[in-house]
Amino acid sequence: MGKLDWKPGNMLYPLPAVLVSVADPAGRQNIFTVAWAGTVCSDPPMVSISVRPERYSYGMIKETGEFVINLTTEELAFATDYCGVVSGRDVDKFEETGLTPIRAKVVKAPMVKESPVNIECVVEDVKALGTHDMFIAKVAAVHADGKYMDGKKRFHLEQAKPIVYSHGSYMALGRELGTFGYSVRKK
């Protein structure tokens, strides 16, 4: 069977399933799940997240200009889903999921202690794009869990068992197929 024609849509899968943590100026905290997240630039380091304006956390980000991207793992899959389907308007998601908010170094939004990597972000620009607004942010600080470091100070995120999101499903990542440049490396 050949290629099927589908209507235009977002088919760039899998995506990172990340927990974004935020706080408002009064110190109220929330976590929500974002699959529309990505790298924008390496120098300066910048990322983006796209959020629907009706989301509870949207106003917190607009007001403070800060958020933290927390990478997710197989162990965090249930909490990742929960934080994407339950509103922080109704419940304290830190309390309900058992996740631990910890103080960030630069921003006022909390980090998720159980996440292997926390990326502190400061918003540089907001683009209204239709159903979602894209927050483009500079990376202000990065924190990595030391238990995934080896003796050569190399970080092994694969040991944390990261997850991705694809067409309504959370998926574990598989085995390594090669490293950057392996296709041209001399043997």
Residue-wise burial string across 79-100, b where 16 or more C-beta atoms lie within 10 A, e elsewhere: bbbbbbeeebeeeebbeebebe
Tokens, residue 62? 């607009």
Per-residue model confidence as pLDDT tens for the chain (187 residues): 899 888 888 888 999 999 999 999 999 999 999 999 999 999 999 999 999 999 999 999 999 999 999 999 999 999 999 999 999 999 999 999 999 999 999 999 999 999 999 999 999 999 999 999 999 999 999 999 999 999 999 999 999 999 999 999 999 998 888 988 989 988 7
Q: pTM, whole model, 2 decimals? A: 0.95
CATH architecture for segment(s) 15-172: Roll (2.30)
Based on its alpha-carbon atoms, the radius of gyration of the chain, rounded to whole angstroms, reads 17
User: In DSSP terms, which residues pair with 125 in a beta bridge?
Assistant: 136
Phi and psi (nearest 5°) for 183? -70, -20
Do β-strands 117-128 and 111-112 pair in parallel, antiparallel, or remain unpaired? unpaired
